[in-house]
Amino acid sequence: MNAVEVKKDVYWVGVKDWNLVEFHGYSTPHGSTYNSYVLMDEKITLVDGVKHYMSDEMIARVKSITDFSKISYLVVNHVEMDHSGNIPVIMKLAPQAKIITNAAGKKALEDHFDTTGWEYELVKTGDSISIGKRTLEFVTTPMLHWPDSMMTYVKEDKLLLSNDGFGQHFATDTIFVKDAPFDVVMREAKSYYANILFPYGAQAEKALNTAGDLGLEIEMIAPSHGCIWQGADEVNAILGAYGKWASGRNEGKAVVVYDTMWGATATLAEAVMSVFQDAGIPVVKHCLSTKNVSEVMVDFLDAKYICIGSPTLNNELFPRVAGFVTYMKGLAPKNKKGFAFGSYGWKQGVTKNIQSVFESLGWETIEPFEEKYTPKSDVVEKIKERVKEMIA
């Protein structure tokens, strides 16, 4: 359990959570990492903690390069428990360490833990602290994705310790993006953005603009989850992707999401998809009986058209569809066109529940479509005509 040097005198002391399968309902089939870093300088600095149940492993890595009694600073970029869970343990081992965070971070730490005796140095965007040969500069990024979130820039190393920004829930036996399949890392970075940062596009754009305004030269981005981006090609790739995702720009794609009981809604979903195919519009179709909601949301980043279908069960949306709609609403995707459709047996009207969510998100919509029991050929043609209205 040794530390891993990622730059001269900068060490990864994090942990890999191979067994993590979900995070707040977000599927994490590749596990995750909780990355912490030690900067060996005149004032030894530890950046971020880990989940409480992996504390011993992290502590062993720190001890492989230094003693906790020599740590001067603990930088807390974010107080969510996957980053702060073992901070009380760290502070018992290093009671002399001063915590560097922002005002919201201090408040969050006090709300979570008994912080009696902890000493703080509070920072805001543009502030800097010298730790010897290195200067730490800070960029507060409130609501990306908590009020306390911030990033720490190591000026001399051109290193951005970005916490949740640019991360991936991805456990692998390597530390660096270059040593992992690039397409997989990018897919996981996209999934991370879609399922955690999607509601905060404006804040993400602001953070990117602030970094530009401060003139930060970045050669390496070391997030708190997943692999480290290094070199111009990798750094530009992830910064460019975030710029696109945060802007809300889409590729004109269509996404059809549905569930089905006896095949009626599946037939309607197939008809909906065929209209986009015939129009030459890229389209993907997800059945919620086989896809996790977090897989579906990745496609929303690139989509212009969203079509959601549900059968009726006990006069309500089908449970998996209802769960998806709730999950989607919380992530608040913008600038979409929505279409609700479905089937029913003896009482119609559940598509209005989907429609109301579309409207609450400010989407353009067309009139919902419902059919009783099995759709006949004429009904299939009717729903096709309805979808054509959407793309006209």
* Longest alpha-carbon distance in the chain: 77
**Catalytic residue chosen out of the listed positions 82, 148, 234, 371:** 82
Q: Can you state the angle between helices 231-247 and 182-192, rounded to 10 degrees?
A: 30
- How far is residue 71's CA from residue 73's CA, in Å, rounded to a whole number? 6
**Catalytic residue chosen out of the listed positions 24, 179, 213, 233:** 24
Active site residue 24: yes
**Catalytic residue chosen out of the listed positions 192, 193, 242, 258:** 192
- How far is residue 141's CA from residue 200's CA, in Å, rounded to a whole number? 10
Q: Can you state the angle between helices 377-391 and 264-278, rounded to 10 degrees?
A: 50
On the 0-12 / 13-18 / 19+ scale of CB atoms within 10 A, 174 is: exposed
- How far is residue 153's CA from residue 147's CA, in Å, rounded to a whole number? 19
**Catalytic residue chosen out of the listed positions 17, 30, 41, 145:** 145
Place of tokens 């981005």: 221
**Catalytic residue chosen out of the listed positions 30, 41, 48, 78:** 78
**Catalytic residue chosen out of the listed positions 30, 83, 169, 225:** 225
Active site residue 169: no
Active site residue 82: yes
**Catalytic residue chosen out of the listed positions 9, 80, 127, 270:** 80
Active site residue 234: no
CA distances from 381 to 11, 16, 335, 387 (A): 62, 52, 28, 10
**Catalytic residue chosen out of the listed positions 48, 164, 259, 371:** 164
Active site residue 225: yes
Q: Which amino acid is at 202?
A: A
Active site residue 145: yes
- Inter-residue contact 193 to 243 (CB < 8 Å): no
Helices (H), the chain: 55-63, 81-84, 87-93, 103-112, 182-192, 201-213, 231-247, 264-278, 293-300, 319-331, 351-360, 377-391
Active site residue 121: no
Active site residue 299: no
Instruction: Report the catalytic residues.
Output: 24, 78, 80, 82, 145, 164, 192, 225
